[in-house]
Structure 1
Amino acid sequence: MTAIPTARRVARAKLVEWGWDVDDEPALDVLLVFAELTTNAIRHASKPGDVVRVLLDETDGYCRIEVLDSRPDLPLLAVQAGGNDEHGRGLLLVRSLAHAMGEELAATTKKVWASVRVADALGRPRCL
């Protein structure tokens, strides 16, 4: 499945194009959220031939990640993943890193989005 690594490379390239240091914590958070949302859409909410659309937008100190897929059902947030489970933590990670997160349903599609704070109110990069 080459779509997932390709999507990750495109997101990373977009952050570099914006002038971000992709090794800094805010960029790593955005890339992790992007990877989790995109992977969920490709693995769990699409079938071969379906189009999954992604959007990255940076505005007012936040980076919004949107992923649109062709399944109008809500993603499932795992309540508890076992210690040996390989899956089930992605949306928990997104929720812990995101300032806000949500879903928008239509008749035949779903958009899952998350907003990650990347700068303070003065526009300075976020440092933890």
Structure 2
Amino acid sequence: MASVPTARRIVRSKLREWGWESDGERARDVLLVLVELTTNAIRHASKPGDVVRVLVDETDGYCRIEVLDSRPDLPLLAVQADGDDEHGRGLLLVRSLAHAMGEELAATTKKVWVSVRIADVLARPRCL
């Protein structure tokens, strides 16, 4: 993905294609998680020229967002951010919206994934 806005536009379009309202509350949760994870990967886990990949799929009413970067260390979860802090709440916010969340490390890469509930009914699997 070239940028966070590009990733957001593509995923919003994919949600719409899958039949989810792209401006509904749960779709907004998916997009917020996407933006936070992608921004963190670009800002904290990559350098110029690195590739950050975003994968999104939907199965049985859950949307799974995966962000892969080239830094094999775990993301730091802020324990507490002060009221005036401009940073430090992103992963806390992601965790509050997530049904499930995890990280997978390899020798030179990391994948952070989050599953967000977007429907109360079972749906057929779809991939991006």
What is the TM-score normalised by the length of structure 1? 0.90
1:85 aligns with 2:105: no
Comparing 2-11 with 17-26, greater Cα deviation is found at 2-11
Corresponding position of 1:57: 57
Corresponding position of 1:119: 119
Stretches of structure 1 that go unaligned for 5 or more consecutive residues are none
Cα deviation for residue 17 of structure 1 reads 1.9
SS of 1:56's partner is strand
Cα deviation for residue 118 of structure 1 reads 1.3
1:108 aligns with 2:108: yes
Stretches of structure 2 that go unaligned for 5 or more consecutive residues are 124-128
What is the TM-score normalised by the length of structure 2? 0.90
Which structure 1 residue ranges, 4+ long, deviate > 4 Å from structure 2?
none
User: Number of paired residues?
Assistant: 122
Cα deviation for residue 3 of structure 1 reads 1.2
CA distance in 2, matches of 1:43, 1:70: 12
RMSD after superposition:
1.3
SS of 2:46's partner is coil
SS of 2:7's partner is helix
Corresponding position of 1:22: 22
CA distance in 1, matches of 2:77, 2:88: 8
Show CA shifts across 1:8-51 (max 9, x none): 11211211222221111110111111111111001110011000
